[in-house]
Amino acid sequence: MAGVHPDQERERQAGTESDPEGETPGDSFGAVRGGIQAVVAAWMAVVRAVSWLIARVVALLAFVIGFVPYSIVLRLVRFDPLDRDLDPEAESYWSETVATNRELDEFRKQY
């Protein structure tokens, strides 16, 4: 047949050609299809809500287990990673870096 998609031709030959409502001949499941789609849509809404909740719980646990103890320890030992102490007599707060003699090959072969 000219102008017919190969899949449509195969369906016609197999006797499973679809009708305009989207149901195949002898398909008793078509009436239930809309109900199942509603159940799937409701289920996906529940899944989205649960995944939203779980993402926040995991983020909260990571914060509480990881960052809070780290910050408490830093405060107990009075260490400031940003070195924010004010010195009224200082001309500048610039911190000099220590120069190292590194070969160029160390940068080329990092691993």
Record the tokens describing residue 85, joined without a space.
């102490």
To the nearest whole percent, how much of the chain has pLDDT over 70?
Answer: 78
pTM check: above 0.85: no
Residue boundaries of the structural domains of the chain:
28-82
- Kindly report, residue by residue over 50-102, the tens digit of the pLDDT: 999 999 999 999 999 999 999 999 999 999 888 888 888 988 888 888 878 78
Supply the DSSP string of 65-111, one letter for each residue.
IIIHHHHHHHHHTT--TT-----TT-S----PPPP----HHHHH---
